[in-house]
Chains A and B, each alone.
Chain A
Amino acid sequence: AQSVTQLGSHVSVSEGALVLLRCNYSSSVPPYLFWYVQYPNQGLQLLLKYTSAATLVKGINGFEAEFKKSETSFHLTKPSAHMSDAAEYFCAVSERGSQGNLIFGKGTKLSVKP
């Protein structure tokens, strides 16, 4: 069965530093891949998605992610962290040909220090 692994349940960076949140998937057939952000007491907001076009995907709020088939990875990055980026981030996959059920990683909580 498909699974998603997010390394690091909690990541802390300084304001202005690089943000790197890791996500690996298990499928041998590249799935559709998503990153969602969740602020406290809010729903999930889509940051970006990979749907087999460009391997480098740009999203909202300055985030981007690169799909690497050889590494079965879809890590999320942002060159310079802002205080407002503090939130929980979820990586999710959806198998091709499915109706769209998402399989979520366990999430990574990002803290940004001033």
Chain B
Amino acid sequence: DAMVIQNPRYQVTQFGKPVTLSCSQTLNHNVMYWYQQKSSQAPKLLFHYYDKDFNNEADTPDNFQSRRPNTSFCFLDIRSPGLGDAAMYLCATSRGLAGEKAYNEQFFGPGTRLTVL
């Protein structure tokens, strides 16, 4: 089945120690998104890639970076995790079709829960 895969599902890191979360997709979608979701809150968009074009949300901290080496993979790098970065990180994809009649539902992975000690 075509899907969005996130590894690992649970990640523990130490305060200030860089960590990388990964996402892969078999849907061949143009767009890949990274969201941060804290407890009992809606997902907050950090950034997204439309193909290789990177789009950063204005309020995403510089501590968060992303890489998309090819269509299938996208990585979230947290350079110096703080206690406030503990959250669920969700990856999503969409087809990214253009035009007035194009609707682009997003398909989500299972998420990676990050704990910062």
Interface residues of A (CB under 8 A from B): 9, 32, 34, 36, 41-46, 49, 51, 88, 90, 94, 96-102, 104-107, 109
The reply to whether the CB of B108 lies closer than 8 angstroms to some CB of chain A is yes
B43, A41: Cβ atoms closer than 8 Å: no
Residues of the B chain whose Cβ atoms lie less than 8 Å from the Cβ of A105: 42
Contacts of A42 in B (CB 8 A): 110-111
Which residues of chain B are within 8 angstroms of A98 by Cβ–Cβ distance?
A: 104
The 5 A-B residue pairs with the shortest CB-CB distance, nearest first, are A100-B104, A43-B108, A104-B42, A44-B108, A32-B103
Residue of B nearest to A42 (CB): B110
A-B pairs with beta carbons under 8 A, tally? 72
A96 partner residues in chain B, CB cutoff 8 A: 100-101, 103
B41 and A49: CB pair below 8 A? no
CB distance from A45 to the nearest CB of B (A): 7
Interface SS, B side: loop
User: In the complex, which residues of chain A have a beta carbon less than 8 angstroms from the beta carbon of B81?
Assistant: none
Would you call B90 and A100 a contact (CB within 8 A)?
no
Give bound CA distance, A41 to B43, whole Å: 13
Closest to A98 in B: B104
Q: Which residues of B lie under 8 Å from residue A88 when comparing CB positions?
A: 40
B61 within 8 A of A: no
